[in-house]
Amino acid sequence: MLVVPAPKPGELAIGYWGAVLRWNGLSRNVADGRQALRLFTGQSVNFCDVPRVELLAKIAAMDLESYVRHHTMFPLRRAVTKDVSGGMLGQGKYRASMISGGTLRVPRPQAYLCQECVREDLGFHGYAYWRREHQLPGQWRCDKHGATLSRVGISQAEAFYASPAQMLPQAKVESDLMFEKDATDCATYRFFDICSHLLGGVVVLPLDAVFSAAKYRAEDLGINTEACTLVRHLLKLEEVQACYDRRWLDALSQEGLTRHVFSDDVSGSAMFSTLSAALVFAALYETSEEAISGMVLSTRECTKSH
């Protein structure tokens, strides 16, 4: 009889797939994938015809949109985009290519875990699982434990197919990303709050409106934005850059803001747009709540008025 674990809150989809395979003694090759589909869903179609994310949603007994919203990094990729049509999953041929090509991608080049979470999981659930919030670019800390995250020193794909507990010996505490700033007055924390909010998949915001809202806010603060025609120009402003630890910003750029990470995106700059906008809004507001509503509500007003 097959073992079908229920996905845990925030469990990363690709890690869940690894768990499903491991628990049932299945390997990663296509034949077993086809076998898994037949075993789990009773359907005997070619595995290649069914995007893996759809298979995972079926195994988890969730509808596709909810599964993507709660278990992948994809909502962040679609949060700020040039083409908002069709909502989070898009529409038409874009929808098909996004579902099959992009929903399971993880932006960081390597896998991250919290050693405290792993120990706690083992004691509580009997097994550990991969959390998506730990895979946010630039994230170096577990919100729950305050512990510094560990980076697993093998390829992302290999790591996520294994259990986080198995990866502990290869996990190294990521001290490079740590920085010294007051946690209560820190744009970096606001950036993560914004990302967490967007990761919830609640909004798909038009890039142009997000840019306008950020520009107006910067101008209200007396910042000269004359030379800025794109969100990433705002990100280059001295006033914005000064809010962040240079070392952290560099590390974030290297691991999360490179375009190749989500290069097949149909709407242009994808994750790059969302992360850039989150960095700008976090710098322009004093609290996470204000930054989030500045980004989400102002863009709605801009969209309506244009």
Site residues, Zn ion (CB under 5 A): 114, 116-117, 142, 144-145
Cβ atoms of 83 and 209 within 8 Å: the answer is no
In the complex, what is the shortest distance from the CB of residue 131 to Zn ion, in angstroms, rounded to a whole number? 8
Three-state DSSP class for 171?
A: strand
In the complex, what is the shortest distance from the CB of residue 301 to Zn ion, in angstroms, rounded to a whole number? 38
Which of 22/145 has CB closer to Zn ion?
A: 145
Neighbouring C-beta atoms of residue 181, cutoff 10 Å: 14
Nearest in space to 200 (alpha carbons), one of 19, 55, 78:
78
How far is Cα 270 from Cα 151, in angstroms, rounded to an integer? 24
Which of 117/214 has CB closer to Zn ion?
A: 117
% helix / strand / coil in the chain, to the nearest 5? 60, 5, 35
Which of 114/292 has CB closer to Zn ion?
A: 114
Q: Which residues pair with 112 in a beta bridge?
A: 151
In the complex, what is the shortest distance from the CB of residue 126 to Zn ion, in angstroms, rounded to a whole number? 17
In the complex, what is the shortest distance from the CB of residue 120 to Zn ion, in angstroms, rounded to a whole number? 7
DSSP 131: B
Half-sphere exposure of 279 (CA within 13 A, CB side): 31
Which of 111/117 has CB closer to Zn ion?
A: 117
Which of 144/172 has CB closer to Zn ion?
A: 144
In the complex, what is the shortest distance from the CB of residue 113 to Zn ion, in angstroms, rounded to a whole number? 8
